[in-house]
Amino acid sequence: MTAHLAIYGCQQNQADGDRLRGMLLAMGYTMTDDRAGADLVVLVTCAVRKHAETRLLGHLGTYLHKGKPGRKVVLCGCMAQREEVRELLRKRYKQVSLSFGPADLGRFPEYLRRLMTEGGRHIITSPDTAPIEEGLPIARLIDPEINRANVTIMTGCDNYCSYCVVPYVRGRERSRAPEAVLEEVRGLVEDGVGEIWLIGQNVNSYKPDFPDLLRACASFEGNYQLRFMTSHPRDAGRRLFEAMASSPRIAPVLHLPAQSGSNAVLKAMNRGYTREDYLEKIRLAKETIENLTLSGDVIVGFPGETEQDFLDTLSLLEEVRFAKLFTFQYSARAGTPAAELTETLSPGEMKERFMRLLEVQKRIEEELGG
Ligand code: SF4
């Protein structure tokens, strides 16, 4: 039996994909790139923006016509955790035989066996939160050119930023035991992996302690470098920056999503810090970590964002001077508090601000020599 795995979205989905690939191989499947010819297609989906969902649902349509008779389509990941999507799958996308949410990752073999023995359709409502299952087989596709691997250290998020669906699809924060993470990192170092990413929705709230975990992961003999994603500015601080400066095995690279430079917008986003707090963290990081490379995220067009709020965001870029910036136009996500707010910009106005932001960032990157 052959299986095709298609992974959309973030590094956490990539890491979940590595486990799904491991479980498929352990069940005797052969992986194939041939989506049409596969006996089983597994889609690991992303729900962070409306566009991601619409695109995936568009792709699903192509699975209806082309493909091997009897082929089974499985949809998992964040979209499968949204009731709105499950309703669509039940009513419209009959080509999907099985769907389950991120917290049920470890139950995939059980669900697949049930599908293969009972047939029918299984649109499963998974729990929002469940302990991260240890011991699942992992099969990574490590590109020798990049030689990099992702290691999940925690999942879920308790921050409830007003625009974000992650807490509703990935559940409350839960962390893996330090021993399990260290064992996985040690194995990758021994396998000669050069770049190891410690990942989670908010690595800084890793329990018991992220700076300690980072130092411990940097203590193995070997030629490797550690990176991590994603940090929340409220939880990142002196202990993290000192840990980053403590070893050449920890890359002096910090991704710290700002989202906005306006205190009014940061408050409406429920980000939990002010512009001044954010700039103070950046100042401390630059002071503590030599040759620091900074990257960030910014959302343009949040409901209620005035021209002055937007100018505050542009001036924040001028002050921080990110080497790289991930930029987004606000996308209302059903079920989030922000989706109840009235959008104040037309699509044209949103685009205009977005282009002005890109221009400023492009100039800064050129000045930094990027
Ligand atoms: S910190 Fe905010 S934006 Fe990031 S995953 Fe959590 S709720 Fe979403």
Instruction: Write down the pLDDT at residue 67.
Output: 72
Amino acid at 250: I
The answer to whether residues 168 and 107 belong to one domain is no
The mean pLDDT of 336-362, rounded to a whole number, is 96
Report the pLDDT averaged over residues 243-272: 98
What pTM, to 2 d.p., does this model score? Answer: 0.93
Of the candidates 169, 63, 72, 84, which has an alpha carbon nearest to the alpha carbon of residue 122? Answer: 72
Q: How much is the pLDDT for 8?
A: 93
φ/ψ of 300, rounded to 5, equals -105, 140
Q: Are residues 197 and 248 in the same domain?
A: yes
Whether 137 is in a domain gets the answer no
The per-residue pLDDT for 59 is 83
Q: Is the minimum distance from the CB of 201 to ligand 1 under 6 angstroms?
A: yes
Position 58 scores a pLDDT of: 84
Does the Cβ of 159 fall within 6 Å of ligand 1?
yes
Q: Quote the ligand 1 centre to 162 CA distance (angstroms).
A: 9
Q: What is the pLDDT of residue 301?
A: 97
User: Is the Cβ atom of 232 under 6 angstroms away from ligand 1?
Assistant: yes
Which of 123, 142, 165 corresponds to the end of one domain? 123
- Strands, E assignment, 25-67: 30-31, 40-45
Whether residues 166 and 51 fall in one domain: no
Q: How confident is the model at residue 64 (pLDDT cuts 50, 70, 90)?
A: low
Decide if pLDDT at 246 tops 90: yes
Q: Tell me what the pLDDT averaged over the chain comes to.
A: 95
Assess whether 66 and 208 both reside in one domain.
no
| Residue with tokens 């411990």, as numbered in its chain | 216
Q: In which band, very low, low, confident or very high, does the pLDDT at 52 lie, cut at 50, 70 and 90?
A: confident
Same domain, 215 and 83: no
Q: Ligand 1, residue 230: give the atom nearest the CA.
A: 4
Structural domain count of the chain: 2
Ligand 1 centroid, distance to 36 Cα (angstroms)? 36
Domain span including residue 65: 2-123
CATH of the domain at 270: 3.80.30.20
144: in domain: no
Q: Are residues 215 and 320 part of one domain?
A: yes
Alpha-carbon distance of 6 to 35, in angstroms, equals 9
E strand or H helix at 228, and its extent?
A: strand 225-229
Torsion of CA 300, 301, 306, 312, to 10 degrees: -10
Q: How far is the CA of 48 from the centre of ligand 1 (A)?
A: 10
**205 belongs to a structural domain:** yes
Q: Say how many Å lie between the CA of residue 261 and the centre of ligand 1.
A: 17
CATH code for the domain in which residue 95 is found: 3.40.50.12160
Helices (H), 171-274: 178-190, 210-217, 238-245, 263-268
- By most ligand atoms within 8 Å of CB, the mutation choice from 48, 202, 203 for ligand 1 is 202
**Cα(160) to centroid of ligand 1, in Å?**
6
167 lines ligand 1 (CB under 6 A): yes
Q: Is residue 145 part of a domain?
A: no
Give yes or no: residues 116 and 60 share one domain.
Answer: yes
Nearest partner of 259 among 246, 240, 249, 273, judged by Cα: 273
Q: Are residues 83 and 223 in the same domain?
A: no
Whose alpha carbon is nearest atom 8 of ligand 1? Answer: 164
Are 110 and 217 in a shared domain? no
Q: Which whole number is the average pLDDT over 113-142?
A: 94
pLDDT in tens, 148-203: 999 999 999 999 999 999 999 999 999 999 999 999 999 999 999 999 999 999 99
Cα 210 to Cα 130, 206, 217, 237, distances in angstroms = 21, 5, 10, 11
How far, in Å, from the CA of 167 to the mean position of ligand 1? 7
Using 50, 70 and 90 to split pLDDT, how confident is the model at 24? Answer: very high
Average pLDDT over residues 75-104: 95
Note whether 203 and 348 are same-domain residues: yes
User: What is the amino acid identity at position 169?
Assistant: V
